Amino acid sequence: MNWLAFWDSPHSIYVSARHKDVHYRMIAEAIARLVPSHEARVLDYGSGEALHADIVAAACGQLLLCEGAPRVRSGIAARFADNPEIRALAPDDLKQLPDQSLDLIVLHSVAQYLTPDELSRLLTQFHRLLNTNGMLVLSDIIPPEVRAAAAAAALLKFGAANGFFLAAVAGIARTLMSNYWRLRSQYGLTRYSDTAMIDKLAAAGFAAQRKPKNIGHDQARMAFTARPRLFDEILSYTQIKNINMRW
The Cα angle at residue 202 between residues 197 and 204, in degrees rounded to 5: 100
Domain-embedded: residue 247: no
Write the single-letter amino acid at 66. C
**Residue 132, domain member (yes or no):** yes
Q: 235 pLDDT exceeds 60?
A: no
Residue 232 pLDDT grade (very low, low, confident, very high; cuts 50, 70, 90): very low
* Cβ atoms of residues 94 and 66 within 8 Å: yes
Where in the sequence is the domain holding 27, given as residue range(s)? 3-239
Do the bridges between strand 130-141 and strand 206-210 make them parallel or antiparallel, or are there none, so unpaired? unpaired
Give the pLDDT score at 233.
Answer: 54
Beta-sheet pairing, 86-89 with 62-66: parallel
Check: CB of residue 47 under 8 Å from CB of residue 67: yes
Tally the domains of the chain.
Answer: 1
Asked if residue 179 lies in contact with residue 101, where contact means CB atoms within 8 angstroms, the answer is: no
DSSP 216: S
The answer as to whether 137 is a domain residue is yes
Residue (of 175, 173, 180, 235) closest to 202 by Cα position: 235
Residue 31's CATH number: 3.40.50.150
Could you read off the pLDDT of 162-221 as tens digits, one per residue? 999 999 999 999 988 888 888 988 888 999 999 999 999 999 999 999 999 999 999 999
| Residue 201 domain flag | yes
Answer whether residue 21 shows pLDDT above 50: yes
Q: Is residue 41 part of a domain?
A: yes
Determine, yes or no, domain membership for 101: yes
Residue 104 · residue 43 · CB < 8 Å: yes
67/92 Cα distance (integer angstroms): 10
Q: Is the pTM of this model over 0.85?
A: yes
In a domain, 50, yes or no: yes
Question: Does 246 fall in a domain?
Answer: no
105-118 pLDDT, tens digit per residue, is 999 999 999 999 99
CA angle 59, 62, 63 (to 5 degrees): 85
Mean of the pLDDT values across residues 219-235? 81
Per-residue pLDDT tens for 24-62?
Answer: 999 999 999 999 999 999 999 999 999 999 999 999 999
Closest CA to 137 of 75, 214, 193, 65: 214
Range list of β-strands (E), the chain: 41-45, 62-66, 86-89, 102-108, 130-141, 206-210, 222-228
